[in-house]
Structures are given as structure tokens and as C-alpha cells.
Amino acid sequence: MAVDWLVEIAEGCKLPNPRVYYVGATYKSVKMVAWQMCQDLTAHLDTKKSEADLTITFKANNAKLQLLSCTDFQKHRGIYIDAIVMDEMPILAPAAWTMVFRPACSDRGGRAMFCGTPQGAGFYYKLWKHGNDPDAKAWTSYLYTVLDTDVIDQDEQDDLKATMPEHHWRQEFLCDWRVARRGAFFGPELNAMDGDGRIGSVPLVQGLPVVASWFLPKTDSSVILFWQEVGDELHLVDSIWKQQTSIQALAAEIAKKPFKVSINYASMNNQMDHYASRLSQARGLGYRFKLVKELPPIEAVYAAKPMLGRTRIDEANNEDAAEAFRQHHAVYDDLKQCYEEHAFEDWTQDFTGALTTFATAHNPRRSNWDVPLVYPNRRRAA
């Protein structure tokens, strides 16, 4: 359907030199999924096909249909778009749409289609919700489960349900947005928080200090979490997640918050020169940091798990953070049929970095192995 839609627009567009694009995760995957389909659907038309750059040129109006990889999306800056399909959107970088392809649609009123299977309530879920917003006149969302179509017969459905894990069935065939990823580090903790009602309305408590934990891994993504300690509980009251932004822009966002930060925590990461550079920029703006010793990733996760047991999250201000904690997961080795001891690298790790920075700062004894043990004096027996 998606490729057919692009062909129809390319063929019928009245603007000069139409450009339509099909975007996938990698060059290999987009060629495997869509290239043959593009050739088949344009076989009846007078076209010129180039497999070298995965382009089909329509000779009648000089329209071009091209398949693109999202791996290095920044190189696509400067194009104009009459129509675009972003396939398997949950695994594509959100910044590819917001920073590159969306602006490229503006000049000529370009249209877009997003396709994919839910993988948590991340950016793709936000797009889907936006399409259901009655005020978003130009947007429309559709959700079709296996029960809404005749694509898979009942016997095959029964076999799938019998041989697949329940959460895989719900995600892949019932389009369940809230299924936690396989191997999610904080899955049990977030499920408990949902069950206890600890993700919801958590208002700021006036008069209590606010502490910030920063994670600045790279220039195109920054996370700051804002915490309050209320009795025996920890409240995550607000957060900032920015992509393609400067330290100055982060400071402007912090200035808009209805509170003042008493302590800023950041991890000591001596292996990331740009991380140290960004901290230096923040210091130049007047921010003072308490540096926390960085733990090995798995140890950092286990430092945060018990802390989440007494944490409440304000959902309105931390929807992305809660979903990141829910979806951050270990790499699964299909050959060995087990989880590796490292995380899958995606957008969730930036939130987890800010979370574990605060967890380590809040429980420094867990990581303070360099301090010698001091035993109390004991009286010797006479």
C-alpha cells in the first residue's frame, strides 16, 4: 500500500520535478523490502531504473521515487519532498523526521505516511496519538490488528498464539503499545509502579529542594531529570529531553521551570571528550555540578532498580522518561538464546543515564569502593 501510494503521487503530481521517498532503517533492509515492489508497481510505466542509488525516474514528468536509508539521515538535508513513507518508524531516529524530513515537506506541501508495529509508547506512539487529535486537521491515524483484517486465517492465528510468547503476540499482532520490550531492565519495577498507581499526578511540593541529574552523551540528545525527596519517597517531578540542541538552549528550558535547582549531578565520564566539553560549557553558564563516579552499566542498572521501588513519576511532565525506563532493554543473542550483559543502544539509554546518575548520587555507598573501611574500636578482652 505504501509503495503504491508513492507511485500514485509521483505519477500524478502537477508540480515540476516531483520527489517521493521511501525510508527504511538501513540501505540493505530498504532494498530487500521495497525495491522489487517499486519495480513491479511501475512496470507498466515509462521509467528509468537505477539500482545503484535505488531510484526510479518517471519520464513523463521527471518525477523520482527513491529509497533512502535512515542510518545517516543528516546527509539528506537540503532535499524537497512531495511525499514520503517512513517504514518501521519505531526503530527510526525521531530526529530524522523532526530535523530533516519534516522541514523538507514544507516547501511544496509534502505528505507523509508512517508505518510500523508498536514497540512501546515512544515517538511513533506520539505521532499516532497526534493523528487521533481532532485539532490536528491534516493528520489521520489508523490501527489495524490481526483481528481487523483477513490477512491471516484463524488456524494460523491459533498456531501463532500457541508458539509465541504472549507479549510478542500482543505487540506484533494486536498492536499493543504498552507491552514492555523483551529483556527490559526495569520492566518489573515499572509494572509495579503502574499497579500501585505511582505513575500519575505527582505535583511539585513547594518548599522542598529540587535536585537535577544530567546526562549529556552527545550533541544531538540531552536529558535532565528533576527530583524531590518527599518523606521516604522520591518524586520525579519534571524532565527535559532535547535533541539537536545546545547547552545554552538547555539553560533556557531550565529557566522556564517553576522551581530552582539546589544540586546538579553529573557522572564522571573520562572516556567521552565531548561529554566533558559540554559540562564545561554548562559550568561557563554558572552551573555547578557534583560529579558522581560512573558505574559499569549493569551495576548502574542494579543501583537504580531498588530506588524505583519508592519512586513516583509525574506522568504529565515525564511521559518520555517513564516510557524510556519501561523500554530500556538488554541485547538478546538469538544464537545463544540468552541476554547479553549490555543494553541495546537507542534513545532510552539517555534517560537511563540520567536515572542511574541520580541513583548513584543518592546511594553513594554503592559505588564508593575507593574509601577504606573504618571499623569501630573494640575493647580487647582483659
Amino acid present at 134:
P
Instruction: Give the tens place of pLDDT for each residue, 263-278.
Output: 999 987 644 566 678 8
Look at residue 89 in the predicted model and tell me its pLDDT.
93
pLDDT category, 35, cuts 50, 70, 90?
very high
> Is the Cβ–Cβ distance between 352 and 328 less than 8 Å?
yes
Model pLDDT for residues 206-242, shown as the tens digit of each residue:
999 999 999 987 656 789 999 999 999 999 999 999 8
Choose the weakest-confidence range: 13-17, 173-177, 309-313. 173-177
**199-200 and 311-314 strand pairing:** parallel
Cα separation, 365 vs 186, whole angstroms: 22
Q: How far apart are CA 263 and CA 289, in angstroms?
A: 7
Concatenated DSSP letters for 286-353?
A: T--EEEEEPPPHHHHHHHHHHHHTTEEEETTT-HHHHHHHHH-BEEEETTTTEEEEEE--STHHHHHH
Checking if the pLDDT of 348 tops 90, the result is no
Residue type, 289: F
H/E element, 214: strand 210-218
Give domain 187-366's CATH architecture: 2-Layer Sandwich (3.30)
Distance between CA atoms of residues 283 and 361, nearest Å: 19
Measured CA to CA, the distance from residue 319 to residue 200 in angstroms comes to 10
DSSP 38: H
User: Can you give the pLDDT at residue 333?
Assistant: 65
Q: Give φ, ψ of 165 to 5 degrees.
A: -60, 145
* Residue 64 one-letter amino acid: K
Q: List 199's β-bridge partners, or say none.
A: 313
Residue 251 has pLDDT above 60, yes or no: yes
Residues facing residue 1 across a β-bridge: none
2-143 CATH fold: Rossmann fold (3.40.50)
Domain ranges of the chain: 2-143, 187-366
| Sequence-ordered alpha helix ranges (H) in 179-296 | 187-196, 247-255, 273-284
Measure the CA dihedral 273/279/280/285, to 10°. 160
Average pLDDT of span 106-132: 90
How many percent of the chain have pLDDT more than 90? 62
Q: Residue 368's pLDDT is what?
A: 41
Average pLDDT over residues 314-343: 79
pTM check: above 0.75 = no
- 49 in helix, strand or coil? strand
Residue 75 pLDDT > 70: yes
How high is the pLDDT of residue 323?
87
**How many residues in total does the chain contain?**
382
What is the C-alpha to C-alpha distance for residues 13 and 17, in angstroms, rounded to an integer? 9
